[in-house]
């Protein structure tokens, strides 16, 4: 299609708002520029679907994810924005609202809204609980209505405080798509009763995600970290300059044996991934002038704290493909109905861990020009709406997940390797709504077992998780008729059609023997 | 089973083991469903768990996966089920003349303990259900006793899901190792109870009263079948009875539906949310404060 035809299609689209049209027009404009100089090998790998630049654009002029130091901002005010330091909660919320509109990201909407309880606690001392509730509720509604993107992420916890508790209460009441919410859990700091409140919220609106605070904190330095967008863990006052992801399924298809995969094919495509990472981050850091921003001058971000994310997906398919190679080698055939394959058989799972360990060692030993301590960060990527026949990250394919306990046990050993985050989604059927203690127990055990992030989707909830973000089931139904106020619903609708996400198996508890209402 | 056999080798006939359930007691639970029941409920939702296999072998030829074979154990014919070949088509259940189930697994106490151990961090406890679990009481006692004696498992609660037919002698053997029981009260009047289950409900009342007195009655369950059960007709007496157990007695209302049901009960009406809410409100009006409604209706 000619560029002009594409632009006309966007301009005349009946479902997009003017603002959404502007965004799509800008994307097309950037896409009409020639791609950064890259080798023919990288180009071939991109065209062949082995490496993907996440449609970040041909000439990156803003980082993928930015995590400003909001605490410093509230403390010092901003010369550029002509703001004095915040003196009270109203000023703090107002100042944050202003800065959110100046924090770029791949979505043009901030992906990180801050560790809100930490940064707001200095302003709430002595405040009446009802007053605090009303102010934060208005703030929450404002976020959903003006920055309507489910990638936008608030962090709270691990300490027990009134802002944290009030936000959990408001989030459960409003059940909005935005903002997304991560609750940090630290067994040494967080009371069980507070984790139980968070687990009960999950039963009602599939939020928050529970992050393993000690595990994340030990991966980053004292200045801290944040969880943004689809559970990406990144340095605070920094972020991700780019995310390039490797399709492990396609890599596995190019291998002639398991040894060939580990010794030749995987290292080769990892080196191509790094080449693309280098090219993209070099342009951003050297040509785009992004780091001339007031965010840098006022020390809200620091160029040295940006790292490329080395993403992977299609682990399940890669393992199954490699196992089939092995079966062909030994020429064994079996008529068994025993569940085999990734997520089910011990051998398959072991092979998966071995791949994760190999990726970890490659990423930790490969220097990059613009990285966190000179390195990229490994990330299990949660999928995008265009993915077909390939499972996000290291997840078990939709519809084939085992029971929640076996599910967690099968994936736990991967989590140690994915410093920049990993999103596994546990689908639990709706009967858990009347038994939030069960959710609490699953969550606590998963984190104890080494999960970095616990995310659950309760099957009948209208709010549901698509790859890594939340959409409303009813919005997906309605989107085709009338469009949506929310930027991510379009992605959700596309993902639902392409990836069979609505078929994800809800666990049927005691289906035959104790249909849950009767037992 | 010989009395000199070490207790840890006691076996149970298990129709299903669920590693995770959130509808069989408080929190997250591993559930063992034991095969065999002493009731013949017309409305049974799992009729194939009632009988015990007598090794007649009628199912073997009908299995499309060749997962069933006849073997001899202890000089008796037994069906051997190959779990890995089975595709769960349930043809064997349909042809069984005994309302039994060849797809059972025999587990020793030791084997169950190993499974529990592997997932102990994920669960708040275990529930033994059925069939009628209390028919395999010696196994349950040994299992619960072993859990309570293990330093790594003793925090798990041990619960029994039962039709309440166990004798008081039986309960007294189990009580020292039991944390709580969920008891089905299938009907209020003994005639109705007999019509539905084939047995009267005298033992059920005795069980409920003993458990309440010992603080081990986790909940009384009422399965409501509009027009068939008699909870509404007997609402005053029923409420009085439940109140005497304690005003805070947890009463779980379940809604009858047709899933898994066979024969006559298929002509009975399903219980709707409105039916359940009407029953709940009748109980609430009479002073009961802990009524639990179904989380979904089929």
The structural domains of chain B, with segments of one domain joined by +, span: 10-49+105-292, 60-95
Residue among A137, A127, A145 at smallest CA distance from A93: A137
Residue among A395, A116, A412 at smallest CA distance from A230: A395
- Interface probe, candidates B23, B35, B66, B124, chain A, greatest A C-beta count within 10 A: B23
Write out chain A residues lying below 8 Å of B65, CB-based: 337
pLDDT in tens, A151-194: 889 999 999 999 999 999 999 999 988 899 999 999 999 999 99
CA distance linking residue A443 with residue A185, whole number of Å:
10
CA distance linking residue B68 with residue B218, whole number of Å:
39
- Interface probe, candidates B14, B16, B20, B32, chain A, greatest A C-beta count within 10 A: B20
CA distance linking residue B25 with residue B124, whole number of Å:
9
CA distance linking residue B2 with residue B202, whole number of Å:
32
Give the pLDDT of residue B258. 81
User: Which one of A405, A432, A434 has the shortest CB-CB distance to B119?
Assistant: A405
B8 Cα to chain A: minimum distance (Å): 26
Three-state secondary structure call for residue A181: strand
Contact B292 A434 (CB under 8 A): yes
Contact A513 B46 (CB under 8 A): yes
Contact B30, B115 (CB under 8 A): yes
pLDDT in tens, B235-272: 999 999 999 998 889 999 999 988 778 889 999 999 99
**B268–chain A Cβ distance below 8 A for any pair:** no
User: Which one of A404, A434, A460 has the shortest CB-CB distance to B20?
Assistant: A404
Write out chain B residues lying below 8 Å of A510, CB-based: 16, 18, 21, 23-24, 31, 33
Q: What's the DSSP call for residue A262?
A: I
User: Which one of A405, A408, A434 has the shortest CB-CB distance to B295?
Assistant: A434
**B231–chain A Cβ distance below 8 A for any pair:** no
Contact A431 B292 (CB under 8 A): no
CA distance linking residue A507 with residue A516, whole number of Å:
12
Residue among A224, A239, A97 at smallest CA distance from A158: A224
Contact B15 A513 (CB under 8 A): yes
Contact A339, A345 (CB under 8 A): yes
Cis peptide before A229 (omega within 30 of 0): no
Contact A445 B24 (CB under 8 A): no
Contact B29 A438 (CB under 8 A): yes
Residue among A466, A364, A380, A361 at smallest CA distance from A421: A380
Count Cβ atoms within 10 A of the Cβ of residue B173 and give its class: 0-12 exposed, 13-18 middle, 19 or more buried: middle
User: Which one of A441, A460, A517 has the shortest CB-CB distance to B122?
Assistant: A441
CA distance linking residue B256 with residue B235, whole number of Å:
18
Write out chain A residues lying below 8 Å of B123, CB-based: 405, 441
- What is the count of structural domains for chain A? 1
Residue among A167, A71, A148, A72 at smallest CA distance from A110: A148
Contact B121 A445 (CB under 8 A): yes
Write out chain A residues lying below 8 Å of B89, CB-based: none
Contact B295 A516 (CB under 8 A): yes
The helix (run of H) or strand (run of E) holding residue A311 is strand A306-313
The 3 state secondary structure assigned to chain B is: CCCCCCHHHCEEEEEEEEEEECCCCCCCEEEEEECCCCCCCCCCCCHHHCCCCCCCCCCHHHCCCCCEEEEEECCEEEEEECCCCCCCCCHHHHHCCCCCCCCCEEEEHHHHHHHHHHCHHHCCEEEEECCCHHHHHHHHHHHHHHHHHCCCCCCCEEEEEECCCCCHHHHHHHHHHCCEEEEECCCCCHHHHHHHHCCCCHHHHHHHHHHHHCCCEEEEEEEECCCCCCCCCCHHHHHHHHHHHCCCCCEEEEECCCCCCCHHHHHCCCCCHHHHHHHHHHHHHCCCCCEECCCCCC
CA distance linking residue A50 with residue A321, whole number of Å:
15
Q: What is the CB-side half-sphere exposure of residue B174 using CA atoms within 13 A?
A: 29
Write out chain B residues lying below 8 Å of A437, CB-based: 26-28, 124
Which residues from A are below 8 Å from B when comparing CB atoms?
335-338, 403-406, 408-409, 428, 430-435, 437-442, 444-446, 448-449, 460, 507, 509-510, 512-519
Three-state secondary structure call for residue A511: coil
Q: Using DSSP bridges, classify how beta strands B29-34 and B125-129 pair: parallel, antiparallel or unpaired.
A: parallel
B170 Cα to chain A: minimum distance (Å): 22
Three-state secondary structure call for residue A199: helix
pTM: 0.88
Rg (CA), chain A: 23
- Please report, in angstroms and rounded to a whole number, the separation of the first and last CA atoms in chain A: 59
CA distance linking residue B91 with residue B63, whole number of Å:
7
A72 found inside a domain = no
Contact B23 A449 (CB under 8 A): no
pLDDT in tens, B110-119: 999 999 999 9
Contact A351, A359 (CB under 8 A): no
Name which residue leads in pLDDT, B188 or B78. Answer: B188
Mean pLDDT across the stretch B40-65?
A: 91
Q: Give ∠ CA A222-A136-A134 in degrees, rounded to 5.
A: 155
Going A386 to A387 to A393 to A399, the CA torsion angle's sign is positive
Q: What's the domain range around A11?
A: 3-49
Rounded to the nearest 5°, which phi and psi values hold at A342? -55, 130
B4 Cα to chain A: minimum distance (Å): 34
A8 found inside a domain = yes
Give the pLDDT of residue A335. 58
Write out chain A residues lying below 8 Å of B122, CB-based: 404-405, 408, 441-442, 445-446
Contact B124 A438 (CB under 8 A): yes
* Residue B240: other Cβ atoms inside 10 A: 12
Give me the total of CB pairs closer than 8 Å, taking one residue from chain A and one from chain B: 126
Residues 6+ apart with CB under 8 A from A340: A323, A348
Residue among B241, B243, B172 at smallest CA distance from B201: B241
Contact B254 A335 (CB under 8 A): no
Give the pLDDT of residue A21. 86
Percent of chain B beyond pLDDT 90? 77
Give the pLDDT of residue A433. 86
B163 Cα to chain A: minimum distance (Å): 11
Give the pLDDT of residue A517. 24
- Please report, in angstroms and rounded to a whole number, the separation of the first and last CA atoms in chain B: 42
Residue among A406, A422, A304, A312 at smallest CA distance from A358: A312
Tokens 């010794």 correspond to what residue? A263
CA distance linking residue A178 with residue A98, whole number of Å:
18
Count Cβ atoms within 10 A of the Cβ of residue A365 and give its class: 0-12 exposed, 13-18 middle, 19 or more buried: exposed
Write out chain A residues lying below 8 Å of B259, CB-based: 515
CB < 8 Å & 24+ apart, contacts of B198-206: B198/B39, B198/B40, B198/B41, B199/B38, B199/B39, B199/B165, B201/B164, B203/B164, B203/B165, B203/B166, B203/B167, B204/B163, B204/B164, B204/B165, B205/B164, B205/B241, B206/B168
Mean pLDDT across the stretch B20-32?
A: 93
CA distance linking residue A391 with residue A380, whole number of Å:
11
Going B74 to B80 to B84 to B88, the CA torsion angle's sign is negative
**Chain B residue with the nearest C-alpha to that of A199:** B27
Contact B33 A514 (CB under 8 A): yes
The CATH H-level superfamily of B10-49+105-292 is Aldolase class I (3.20.20.70)
Tokens 């409420």 correspond to what residue? B239
ipTM: 0.89
Sheet holding B251-255, edge to edge: B105-108, B11-21, B29-34, B125-129, B157-162, B180-184, B217-224, B251-255, B291-292
User: Which one of B18, B84, B255 has the shortest CB-CB distance to A517?
Assistant: B255
The helix (run of H) or strand (run of E) holding residue A379 is strand A377-380
**What stretches in chain A show pLDDT beneath 50?**
332-333, 465-470, 500-519
Give residues 138 to 197 of B whose Cβ lies within 8 Å of A.
Answer: 161
Give the pLDDT of residue B262. 85
CA distance linking residue B184 with residue B201, whole number of Å:
10
Q: Using DSSP bridges, classify how beta strands B217-224 and B125-129 pair: parallel, antiparallel or unpaired.
A: unpaired
pLDDT in tens, B80-94: 999 889 988 889 988
Q: How far is CA B239 from the centre of its chain?
A: 24
CA distance linking residue A1 with residue A4, whole number of Å:
8
**B99–chain A Cβ distance below 8 A for any pair:** no
Write out chain B residues lying below 8 Å of A516, CB-based: 23, 294-296
Tokens 């302003």 correspond to what residue? A123
């Amino acid at each position: 299609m000619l560029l002009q035809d594409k632009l006309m299609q966007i301009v005349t689209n009946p479902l997009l708002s003017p603002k959404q049209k502007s965004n799509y027009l800008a994307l097309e404009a950037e896409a009409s520029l020639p791609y950064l100089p890259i080798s023919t090998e990288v180009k071939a790998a991109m065209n062949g679907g082995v490496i993907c630049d996440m449609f970040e654009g041909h000439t990156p002029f803003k980082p993928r994810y930015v995590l400003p130091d909001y605490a410093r901002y509230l403390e010092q005010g901003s010369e550029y924005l002509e703001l004095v330091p915040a003196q009270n909660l109203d000023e703090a919320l107002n100042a944050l609202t202003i800065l959110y509109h100046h924090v770029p990201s791949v979505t043009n909407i901030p992906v990180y809204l801050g560790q809100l309880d930490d940064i707001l606690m200095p302003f709430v001392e002595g405040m009446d609980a009802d007053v605090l509730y009303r102010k934060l509720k208005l703030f929450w509604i404002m976020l959903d209505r003006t920055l309507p993107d489910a990638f936008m992420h608030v962090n709270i916890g691990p300490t027990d405080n009134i802002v944290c508790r009030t936000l959990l209460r408001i989030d459960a009441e409003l059940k909005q798509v935005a903002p997304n919410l991560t609750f940090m859990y630290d067994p040494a700091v967080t009371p069980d009763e507070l984790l139980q409140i968070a687990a009960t919220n999950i039963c009602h609106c599939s939020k928050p995600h529970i992050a393993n605070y000690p595990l994340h904190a030990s991966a980053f330095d004292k200045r801290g970290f944040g969880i943004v967008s689809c559970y990406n863990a990144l340095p605070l006052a920094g972020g991700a300059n780019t995310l390039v992801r490797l399709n492990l399924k396609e890599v596995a298809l190019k291998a002639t044996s398991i040894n060939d995969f580990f010794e030749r094919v995987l290292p080769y495509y990892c080196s191509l991934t790094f080449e693309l990472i280098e090219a993209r981050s070099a342009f951003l850091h050297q040509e785009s002038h992004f780091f001339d921003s007031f965010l840098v001058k006022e020390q809200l971000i620091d160029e040295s704290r940006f790292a490329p994310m080395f993403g992977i997906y299609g682990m399940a398919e890669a393992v199954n493909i490699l196992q089939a190679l092995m079966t062909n080698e030994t020429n064994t055939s079996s008529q068994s109905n025993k569940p085999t394959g990734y997520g089910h058989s011990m051998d398959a799972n072991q092979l998966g861990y071995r791949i994760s360990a190999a990726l970890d060692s490659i990423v930790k030993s490969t220097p990059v020009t613009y990285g966190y301590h000179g390195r990229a960060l490994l990330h299990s990527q949660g999928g995008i709406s265009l993915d077909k026949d390939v499972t996000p990250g290291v997840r078990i394919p939709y519809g084939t997940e085992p029971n929640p306990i076996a599910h967690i046990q099968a994936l736990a050993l991967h989590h140690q390797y994915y410093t920049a985050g990993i999103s596994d989604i546990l689908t639990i059927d709706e009967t858990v709504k009347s038994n939030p203690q069960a959710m609490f127990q699953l969550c606590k055990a998963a984190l104890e077992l080494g999960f970095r992030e616990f995310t659950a989707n309760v099957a009948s909830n209208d709010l549901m998780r698509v790859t890594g973000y939340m959409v409303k089931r009813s919005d997906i139904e309605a989107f085709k008729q009338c469009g949506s106020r929310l930027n991510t619903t379009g992605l959700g609708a596309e993902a639902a059609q392409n990836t069979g996400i609505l078929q994800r198996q809800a666990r049927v508890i005691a289906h035959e023997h104790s249909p849950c209402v009767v037992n | 089973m010989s009395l000199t056999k070490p207790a840890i080798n006691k076996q149970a006939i298990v129709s299903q083991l669920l590693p995770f359930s959130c509808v069989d007691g408080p929190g997250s639970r591993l559930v063992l469903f034991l095969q065999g029941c002493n009731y013949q409920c017309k409305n049974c939702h799992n009729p194939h768990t009632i009988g015990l296999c007598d090794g007649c072998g009628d199912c073997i030829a009908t299995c499309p996966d060749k997962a069933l074979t006849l073997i001899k154990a202890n000089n008796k014919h037994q069906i051997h089920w190959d779990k890995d070949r089975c595709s769960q088509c349930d043809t064997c259940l349909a042809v069984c003349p005994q309302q039994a189930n060849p797809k059972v697994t025999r587990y020793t106490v030791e084997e169950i303990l190993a499974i529990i151990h592997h997932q102990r961090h994920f669960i708040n406890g275990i529930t033994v259900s059925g069939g009628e679990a209390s028919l395999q009481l010696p196994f349950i006692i040994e299992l619960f006793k072993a859990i309570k004696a293990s330093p790594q498992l003793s925090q798990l609660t041990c619960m029994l899901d039962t039709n309440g037919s166990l004798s008081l002698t039986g309960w007294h053997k189990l009580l020292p190792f039991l944390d709580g029981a969920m008891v089905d009260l299938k009907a209020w009047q003994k005639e109705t109870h007999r019509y539905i289950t084939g047995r009267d409900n005298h033992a059920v009342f005795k069980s409920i009263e003993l458990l309440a007195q010992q603080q081990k009655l986790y909940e009384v369950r009422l399965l409501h079948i509009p027009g068939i059960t008699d909870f509404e007709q007997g609402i005053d007496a029923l409420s009085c009875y439940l109140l005497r157990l304690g005003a805070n007695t947890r009463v779980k209302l379940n809604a009858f539906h047709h899933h898994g049901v066979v024969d006559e009960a298929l002509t009975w009406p399903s219980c709707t949310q409105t039916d359940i809410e009407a029953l709940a409100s009748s109980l609430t009006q009479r002073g009961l404060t802990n009524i639990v409604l179904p989380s979904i209706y089929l």
